[in-house]
Amino acid sequence: MKFKCLIILLILSLGCLQPLDNPQTLPENSIQNFKIQICLINWKENSLNKTTQELIQIAEKIQKFYKEISYEKVNLQFEYKNAQSNSTGTTVNEMLELAYSSCNPSRDTHALIFYPTQINSSNEQELGFIESTFTHRNKISNTDIIQVPEGKLNYLTLAHELGHGLFNFEHPVTLHCGAKVFSETNCETADYGNPFDFMSSGTGHVNAWDKYKAGWSEIKTVTENGNYVISALETKEEKIKGLRVPNSKHPLCLEYRKPIGLDQEIIDNDKQPLPETGCLLVSLCYTENQEYNPGHQNLLLYTDQNPEAKQENHCIKENEKFTDTDLGVSIEFDSLENNQAQVTVEFEN
């Protein structure tokens, strides 16, 4: 991916090092192709419990998943390999090097997923170390390497790791500010608290802000009171998938979510699916506030501060007015035909 950035920088003078409010610019109707190798390794002391056929089924699900969330702008091409390693490493780095040389991916491979992680049964501490590095990214040359321990091979986890490796997605966290939706102080983030996003604890699409940064959709900036139309994040017909409300230091991102496609599986923190008429999610989307947004993440706000609620709720339902004096804005929406919503934004003076 670094290599890709360099090429983009050289050719377009527009690269991945630009501030994050500049998205990747993809030509109209272009498709991003990524080559990924899934390598089944027979380590010296381990026996394999999976077959290539099982890997193919998982890869096909990941392929479909990215096609849907990118509005068919991403095409993942998988290749499969069986490899044998005659030695065992004693550290994670040695294991990665061994996996890389055993699987021997071609130079244009964007990601190497190897399975299983080598298990050194004689050293439990080492095993714990290897397990805990599962979700971390490792790079050898330009290839992102994802190691999958025995028993943890599933399409959603691999799709998540590829989100980090191929698209630089961070975890879209939730922001908790005590009894307030937002405050300048006393907020904490929860890394896996967002049930609406597969880069957090969810199963569904990635948020509108990340899709915008990846170049898959557009965001409209709103600076005046008014009604604005956006389409449901899950639909591919219309391009504008979010509103960005540059609210002084804390710009907000709004997106409209409906139970369509992958998002039919979403179950929120209150164990509820997305309402049929959809809901609006409000996040801090900008990177200026380093205190709350050091990792350039999307920060989902807890918009329902109802003390009766059993669980935190982030979903603004149709005709529910969300007002917050700290953020200086109120927001509500009506659902329209064709999976669109008319969002009313009012700023406080």
**Smallest distance from Zn ion to CB 335, Å:** 32
**Smallest distance from Zn ion to CB 229, Å:** 33
Closer to Zn ion by Cβ: residue 167 or 182: 167
**Smallest distance from Zn ion to CB 135, Å:** 5
Is 172 in contact with 193 (CB distance < 8 Å)? no
Helix axes 92-103, 124-132, angle to 10 degrees: 70
Closer to Zn ion by Cβ: residue 175 or 243: 175
Name residues contacting Zn ion, limited to 223-252 (CB under 5 A): none
Per-position b or e across 157-178, b if 16+ CB within 10 A of its CB: bbbbbbbbbbbbbbbbbbbbbe
Name residues contacting Zn ion, limited to 135-174 (CB under 5 A): 135
**Smallest distance from Zn ion to CB 161, Å:** 7
H or E segment and range at residue 38: strand 32-42
**Smallest distance from Zn ion to CB 52, Å:** 26
Strand pairing report for 32-42 and 74-84 = parallel
- In the shown chain, the binding pattern of residues 109 to 138 toward Zn ion, with x for contact by CB under 5 A and - for none, equals --------------------------x---
Cα–Cα distance measured from residue 37 to residue 82, given in angstroms and rounded to the nearest whole number:
10
Cα–Cα distance measured from residue 159 to residue 180, given in angstroms and rounded to the nearest whole number:
34
H helix runs in 186-300, sequence order:
208-214
Closer to Zn ion by Cβ: residue 80 or 192: 192
Residue nearest to Zn ion (CB): 135
Supply angle C-alpha 120, 157, 263, rounded to 5. 165
Closer to Zn ion by Cβ: residue 156 or 262: 156
**Smallest distance from Zn ion to CB 236, Å:** 25
Closer to Zn ion by Cβ: residue 33 or 135: 135
Q: For residue 88, give both structure tokens.
A: 């065992």
Closer to Zn ion by Cβ: residue 96 or 206: 206
- Backbone angles phi and psi of 253, in degrees to 5: -115, 130
Number of residues that bind Zn ion (CB under 5 A): 1
Rule CB under 5 A: which residues touch Zn ion?
135
